[in-house]
Structure 1
Amino acid sequence: MSQIIKVSFTDIIGRVHNVPSLPEVVTEVVRLINDPRSSAEQVHKIMVKDQAMAAKILRMVNSVYYGLPDPVHNLEQAIVILGFKTIRSIAMSIAVINLFQQQDANFNMKSFWTHSAVMAQISRLLAAKARLPDPEVAFITGLLKDIGMLIMVQHAPDETKRMIAVAREFRYDINRAARKVLTTDHAEVGAWLCKKWELPDHLVDAVRNQFSLDQAVDPKLTSVLQFGEYLCGLKKIRFAGQCGEPKIDQAVWGHLGIDKTSLVEVLSVINDEVDNAKMLLKMVM
């Protein structure tokens, strides 16, 4: 029997001839919000260039997802009430989820985006509990944690199908299954895409090292991802190929300062976060 040649990271990204691009409006908004000198008026001027996105943002702001006491009538008002960082999260959610809508017979996109939206919600919650400086960055990181899977589904379909089959047969986690078929994994591919999108370095690093906490530049943010994935596993919120038992690096507990009491508190609101994630998807897709 001939030896199977494992596909590398370079092989996969070499097949991506047209890198999925974020809308220019989102890229500009992210850049502006990262600048402490920017104003609500500047952010508003950029966002009104994309009327479809502006309408979706207003729809979300006025939904029970945010539960504001009074209706918000315009985008500038929404920016002032919710703040730059929350608006950035909304814009990123709308852009990324709508960028990857192509259906695949071997990969359930609805399950994938449900998992990603729940990861985003839980990551924001955990980041706030652990007192990370920007829980909204954790939200975006959670949303994008597994984005590399979608690149692999599109550009390495045979290898991805085989990887998922290995995970199901041996009850492996997705990373271990990937290394049986490839010399890379979706974390490395996802980090590459986030880097292409010029997202913050610590976000890119957290995506890349989601399975390697000891190599993470920002172990707290990476711990948020690992713990969020652990909670998703406990709740059976998974996408194709996630077949291993939920597990967590012991160092995560220390990085996040979570004890048994905190864990019970987090678990008590997980169902609410799942409902919020489903609501988010319904409005965005």
Structure 2
Amino acid sequence: MHDITFPLRWRLALIAPALAVFTAFWLLPMTVLVHVSGDGHPLETYRALVTDARYMGSLGATVALSAAVTVATLVVSVIAGMLLARREFPGKRMLLALLTFPLAFPGVVVGFMVIMLAGRQGLIGAVSARLTGDKWVFAYSMTGLFVGYLYFSIPRVIVTVMASATKLDPSLEEAARSLGASPWQITRDVVLPGLAPGLVAAGAICFATSMGAFGTAFTLATDIDVLPMTIYTAFTLNASMVTAAGLSIILGLVTWLVLALARTMTGSAVAATA
């Protein structure tokens, strides 16, 4: 094999498009956000934000919701993804296409679907009114937002689980089975550790997406206090660019910390299974 080396000018030319995109869509916007949020007194600005009960309550609710969505998504996706990856049955391709179809929907459409399901005129309300006499309406609450986030998170993770499942070594499961391990023990000690790197990465992306999702929250925002809506209210209704920029930085930092932790855990998991 020949070692192919590029002259310095070619290496610069090859990396230039990536640098241009990084500069235009990350570095410059983040620089502007940091500058606006500081407003000449960055420490005072961020101290005021992190000591404000409303803002920190909104951040806490956003983190809790995102964590709940991530856990529920991983549980459902592991079960469905393993079934789809290891079983052949009539209609499997159609089912897979339907499960991944929500990837094509923007957040506003997902929010509208939640309203049609659990809104004042939704299907669940109509059925519950006939069965119990009470109309169940939860589309405009954290529960409705949880359902919406779950709806567009599951397809992403199912695809990851199916890809990871194809890389598992079947001989490990056969060896465990021959030694008398039960199906639950095989799943706990062989399958889940093998899926761990993919699950951690997919869970981190699911969490980050839920933290910053806006379209669904905006569609359902009646009784919902999540940080993207708080940021939107700050710069539209209150015309406070400093507050909006500062909260955006805080949201970005929390999400980045989770992604960094996921990268560390994924690396450790890969090393452990190597």
TM-score, normalized by length of structure 2?
Answer: 0.25
Bigger-Rg structure (1/2): 2
TM-score, normalized by length of structure 1?
Answer: 0.24
Higher helix fraction: Structure 1 or Structure 2?
Answer: 2
